[in-house]
Amino acid sequence: MAFDKEVYGNSVKSVTKYLWFNTEKPIEIIHITDEVRDFVKESGIIDGYVMVSAMHLTASVYINDYESGLIEDIKEWLEKLAPQNYPYKHHWTGEVNGHAHLKNLIMHHQIIVPITDGDLDLGPWQEIFYAEFDGQRRKRVILKAFGISK
């Protein structure tokens, strides 16, 4: 749903879109900057913010450098902090994804990026990623842009 309100000759607008993922691997990091940028441009918002949020407790959204070595380092670092094969009490419930919940807490579930002149206002080397820690099933990310439109 979107709403418009006239403000100084422009409209304040809110636009929502969902990205769906079904990863091939249980743990996967996906570059999504282009999808978020396309959404912002389609939204018509020229000044505001876009929130990108994983709608699952076993996934994350984060900003960092798009470099393959760093992506592998992140996966290895997270595995050391929250190993898959640890006997988590969460597993007593029948679920075996305790590690994924902890990785989500470390990486967080959402980001907010400024929109300036109708585009993402990211710093040098900053890119947006979806990190899946309990994959091979359908998951979604919400994109919500809010701000002044044309």
Q: State the CB neighbour count (10 A cutoff) for residue 68.
A: 7
Which CATH number goes with the domain that contains 55?
Answer: 2.60.120.460
In terms of residue numbers, what domain contains 115?
4-149
How many domains is the chain partitioned into structurally? Answer: 1
Per-residue pLDDT tens digits for 39-55? 999 999 999 999 999 99
DSSP states of 53-117 as a string?
Answer: EESSTTEEEEEE---HHHHHHHHHHHHHHS-TTS--GGGGGT---HHHHHHHHHH-SEEEEEEET
User: Residue 3's pLDDT is what?
Assistant: 47
pLDDT at 9: 60
Q: What is the pTM of this model?
A: 0.92
Q: List the chain residues with pLDDT less than 50.
A: 1-4, 7
Can you give the pLDDT at residue 4?
47
The pLDDT value recorded for residue 11 is 86
